[in-house]
């Protein structure tokens, strides 16, 4: 499968209009796809934003010409009703045929707790995600009104009058082995987050493929997409430090516990050392260094990169891909 290069335009790290300008620039440089975070609270407090992802996508799709767009990722189970998620992505895909997909996942306390107060366990949220996906697919496909009584959601003769002309591609986030297996079983493609290449190769991707085979699908036709942040600067230490905004994602407790206050995440993020950031993110001083970083993950089986640009000079961090994209996709 040909490697695809995606640009992650963060609307929690950047003001929405700045992220939109980045998306336009990234498309012009040759990125295949644009991905946007779907958050309520951000992963860092100082100088953070959190624009609404779907509102941003509408504007960004109109401002660009051909790039594929998806959230990275939407949690369709708590603060959003899955029926309204299905309606939103049906509308966007009808308006921009072939250019819109959705990635789903079991959520983060940062986004769900502030507006619901609830935080079910990981297995329950995974179960809710599977049910949400089932009902979203029914709404997208059904020519008749949908009535559904599940464990978590009830639909009473719900009908989407605005439908896409073809299927909305569905990515499913699996960070752990069970999440990856569920992704293979219930979605079209895998979405995951940067992890050591050995884990991706020996745990995440095999579990995803196992899930796909269980559902009778051909895993060789399914993408392995991954969100990973990068920073490029001639000064290596400056490049690493510029990734600090995302360091909270490297603290496992942020996923396990009900942490929904960005100030609290920031306190933990500020304790993360450069070695850990270097190991989990991509840091380089030039295009050649970035190509090496991308090749590490390609060798582990990743074939769709969602690259979050945390470079000190953001435009340079986009323009450098004129040289990188041909080298990693040929």
Ligand X SMILES: C[C@H](OP(=O)(O)OC[C@@H](O)[C@@H](O)[C@@H](O)CN1c2cc(O)ccc2Cc2c1[nH]c(=O)[nH]c2=O)C(=O)N[C@@H](CCC(=O)N[C@@H](CCC(=O)O)C(=O)O)C(=O)O
Q: Does 108 contact ligand CCCCCC(=O)CC by CB under 6 A?
A: yes
Residue 329's φ and ψ, nearest 5 degrees, are -110, -10
Binding residues for ligand X (CB under 6 A): 37-39, 72-73, 75, 105-108, 111, 121-123, 126, 173-179, 191-193, 227, 255-256
Of 57, 249, 262, 265, the one binding ligand CCCCCC(=O)CC by CB under 6 A: 249
27: Cβ–Cβ under 8 A, 6 or more apart, which residues? 34, 64, 65, 66, 67
Of 12, 108, 209, 266, catalytic: 108
Residues 32-71 as x/- pattern, contact with ligand CCCCCC(=O)CC by CB under 6 A: -----x----------------------------------
Q: By the 8 A CB rule, do 90 and 157 touch?
A: no
According to the binding rule CB under 6 A, does residue 266 interact with ligand CCCCCC(=O)CC? no
Interface with ligand CCCCCC(=O)CC includes 112 (CB under 6 A)? no
In whole angstroms, give the CA distance from residue 201 to residue 10. 27
> Which of ligand CCCCCC(=O)CC, ligand X, none interacts with 174 (beta carbon under 5 to 8 A by kind)?
ligand X
Q: Are 135 and 148 in contact (CB under 8 A)?
A: yes
Letter string b/e over residues 13-42, b meaning 16 or more CB atoms within 10 A of that residue's CB: bbebeebbbbbbbbbebebbbbbbbbbbbb
Shortest spacing between CB 161 and ligand CCCCCC(=O)CC, in angstroms: 32
CB of 237 to ligand X, least distance (A): 27
108 carries an active-site annotation = yes
Q: Which residues are CB-neighbours of 18 under 8 A, at least 6 positions away?
A: 314
Q: Cis ω on the peptide bond leading into residue 130 (within 30° of 0)?
A: no
241 in catalytic set: no
Single out the residue of 170, 193, 300, 324 in contact with ligand CCCCCC(=O)CC (rule: CB under 6 A). 193
**Closest approach of ligand X to the CB of residue 287, in Å:** 25
The binder of 127, among ligand CCCCCC(=O)CC, ligand X, none, by C-beta within 5 to 8 A per type, is none
Between CA 168 and CA 164 the distance in angstroms is 7
**170 binds, options ligand X, ligand CCCCCC(=O)CC, none, Cβ within 5 to 8 A by partner type:** none
The strand pair at 189-193 and 170-173 is best described as parallel
Closest CA to 41 of 81, 75, 5: 75
Residue 152, Cβ density class (10 Å: 0-12 exposed, 13-18 middle, ≥19 buried): middle
39, 41, 224, 304: the active-site residue:
39
Measured from the CB atom, is 175 or 324 closer to ligand X?
Answer: 175
The residues of the shown chain that bind ligand CCCCCC(=O)CC, judged by CB under 6 A, are 37, 108, 193, 249
| Residues noted as catalytic | 39, 108
């Amino acid at each position: 499968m040909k490697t695809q290069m995606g640009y992650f335009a963060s609307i929690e790290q950047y003001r929405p209009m700045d992220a939109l300008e980045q998306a336009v620039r990234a498309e012009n440089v040759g990125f295949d796809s644009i991905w946007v975070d779907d958050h309520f609270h951000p992963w860092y407090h100082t100088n953070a934003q959190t624009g609404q992802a779907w509102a941003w996508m509408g504007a960004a799709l109109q401002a660009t010409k051909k790039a594929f767009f998806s959230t990275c990722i939407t949690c369709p189970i708590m603060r959003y009703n899955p029926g309204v998620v299905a309606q939103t992505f049906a509308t966007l895909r009808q308006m921009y045929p072939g250019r819109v997909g959705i990635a789903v996942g079991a959520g983060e306390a940062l986004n769900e707790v502030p507006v619901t107060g609830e935080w079910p366990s990981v297995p329950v949220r995974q179960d809710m995600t599977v049910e949400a996906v089932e009902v979203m697919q029914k709404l997208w496909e059904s020519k008749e009104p949908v009535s559904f009584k599940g464990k978590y959601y009830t639909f009473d003769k719900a009908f989407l009058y605005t439908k896409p002309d073809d299927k909305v591609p569905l990515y499913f986030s699996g960070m752990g082995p069970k999440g990856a297996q569920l992704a293979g079983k219930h979605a079209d493609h895998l979405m995951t987050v940067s992890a050591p290449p050995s884990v991706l190769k020996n745990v995440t991707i095999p579990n995803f493929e196992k899930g796909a085979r269980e559902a009778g699908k051909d895993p060789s036709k399914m993408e392995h997409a991954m969100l990973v942040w990068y920073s490029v600067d001639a000064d290596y230490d400056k490049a690493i430090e510029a990734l600090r905004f995302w360091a909270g994602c490297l603290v496992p407790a942020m996923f396990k516990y009900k942490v929904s206050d960005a100030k609290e995440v920031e306190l933990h993020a500020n304790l993360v050392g450069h070695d850990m950031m270097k190991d989990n993110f991509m840091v380089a001083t030039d295009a050649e260094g970035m190509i090496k970083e991308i090749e590490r993950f390609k060798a582990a089986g990743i074939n769709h990169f969602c690259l979050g640009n945390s470079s000190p000079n953001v435009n340079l961090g986009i323009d450098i891909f004129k040289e990188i994209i041909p080298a990693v996709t040929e």
